[in-house]
Structure formats: structure tokens, C-alpha cells
Copies of this chain bind each other. A is one copy, B any other.
Amino acid sequence: MPTSRTSVPVPRERGAGSGAQRRQEIVAAAQRLIADKGFEGLRVREVADRVGINIATLHYHFPSKEALVTAVVQDIVGRLDRVPAGDVQPPPPREHLAGHLHHVLDQFERHREQFVVLNELYNRAIRDEALRRVLQASDTAWTDYLVPILRAGRDNGQLRADLDPVAAATLITGFFKSLLFHLGLTPQGARQAADELLRGLDSQETPR
């Protein structure tokens, strides 16, 4: 029985809660929490705490934990524009590829947290049908970006003549997906592996 109500409802903090903005805040906190503790360790209470709001308020914005998780997934996947907007003058395939690899590797070093969450997502997708479809679509887009480059490189002689573009795309995407699972890998080691991957695609006759 609430006999006394000592604390007054906090007036909406300025800069904090304009609905969508507040929701974004919550999603961001949830992402950080997932990066810290994994999906296993995601507690709505702690998300609320990190944002500095009451659990009920969180549930006001996200009716269920699942809704929150869905928002997190959408946010992360939405950020997954790994396919850069078409360069005006795309470089030759081999350089295009190298640029892409180093770009993603850069992202990995700079925004490791997001890769951790993404990793959690992929892990979850093994058992979650809906999530699997979402990520699979994103994977398809990624592959569809890579395959033409690989094919062009093979056809113009920069890459191996016997290159299987789809298989090579699988190797490339798999390389990034596995990054977090190389437990002792240094950034330098990762770059060396990426370079090795590139050399494996190269035509050996092509001077580099």
C-alpha cells in the first residue's frame, strides 16, 4: 500500500524523451548491454537502469522484451549498409575488393561493439527462424555485392581464372563472421589474414 509518495514524478527531462528519441535511447542501451553480457545477460530492468528510467516506463515504450529485442535487431541490421553507395568511378575489381576488405576490417576495429552484437544475432539466428530470414537477406545483399566484383576480376584477369565467385564470396563473408572467434587474434593478424585471403584470389601472373 503506497502510504507516502515522497518522490515527485520527475518532469520529463529536456533533451531526453520525445518518444522516438527515448526509444532510441533505450535501444542503444540495450545494444550496449548485449555487447557487454550477451543476449543471455539482457535484463529489461538493467536496460531501464542504464537509461535512468523506471521499468514501467520502458514497458510503456516497448510493450514486451521481445519488442525491444526486435527493435535492437532492426537497428543493427539497418546499420548494415556494408554495401557502399555506388562510387562514381568504381576502381578495378582487385582494388575494389581490397578496399572493401580493409574497410570492413576498419569498421571492426573501430566499432567492435556492434560486431559483438551482430555476432550474438547470428548465433541466435541458428535457432530463430524469423531472425534467420532477416540476416539471410542481409547476407544475400552482401554476396550480391561481392559476386559481380569477383566475376569481373576473374574475367579481366586480375583474379584467378578458376575462381568460383560465389564460393569466394562465402569465404570473404565467413572471414569477417569468424573474426570474433579467433580468440587471440591481433588487429595485425587480422589484416595479414585478410591479405592472405586476397592473395589467394589473385591471379599469380598479375603483377601487384
Interface residues, chain A, with chain B CB atoms under 8 Å away: 36-40, 116, 119-120, 122-127, 132, 135-136, 139-140, 160, 162-164, 166-168, 170-171, 173-175, 177-185, 189, 192-193, 195-197, 199-201, 203-205
Chain B CB within 10 Å, residue with most, of A37, A119, A160, A167: A167
Q: Which of B124, B173, B196 contacts A167 (CB 8 A)?
A: B196
> Is the CB–CB distance between B175 and A178 below 8 Å?
yes
Among A39, A175, A181, A195, find the residue whose CB has the most chain B CB atoms closer than 10 A: A181
Report the Cα distance A39→B140, complex, angstroms: 28
Asked if A170 and B199 make an inter-chain contact with CB atoms under 8 angstroms apart, the answer reads no
Given A116-B126, A199-B162, CB of A136 within 8 Å of CB of B174: no
Question: How many copies, total?
Answer: 2
In whole angstroms, what is the CA distance A142 to B125 when docked? 27
**Given A37-B127, A182-B170, are A192 and B175 neighbors across the interface (CB < 8 Å)?**
no
List of B residues within 8 angstroms of A122 by Cβ: 181, 183
| Cross-chain contact B171 with A197 (CB below 8 angstroms) | yes
CB-CB under 8 A for A196 and B127, given A170-B185, A178-B178, A181-B122: no
The reply to whether A197 and B196 contact each other, CB–CB distance below 8 Å, is no
Picked from B139, B171, B181, B192, the residue with its CB within 8 Å of the CB of A184 is B139
Interface centre among A119, A122, A123, A204 (most CB of B within 10 A): A123
Whether the Cβ atoms of A174 and B163 lie closer than 8 Å is no
Which B residues are in CB contact (< 8 Å) with A125?
183
Q: Is the CB of A164 within 8 A of B192?
A: yes
**How far is it, in angstroms, between the C-alpha of A46 and the C-alpha of B130 when the chains are bound?**
25
Q: Which residues of B contact A126 (CB under 8 A)?
A: 38, 116, 119, 180, 183
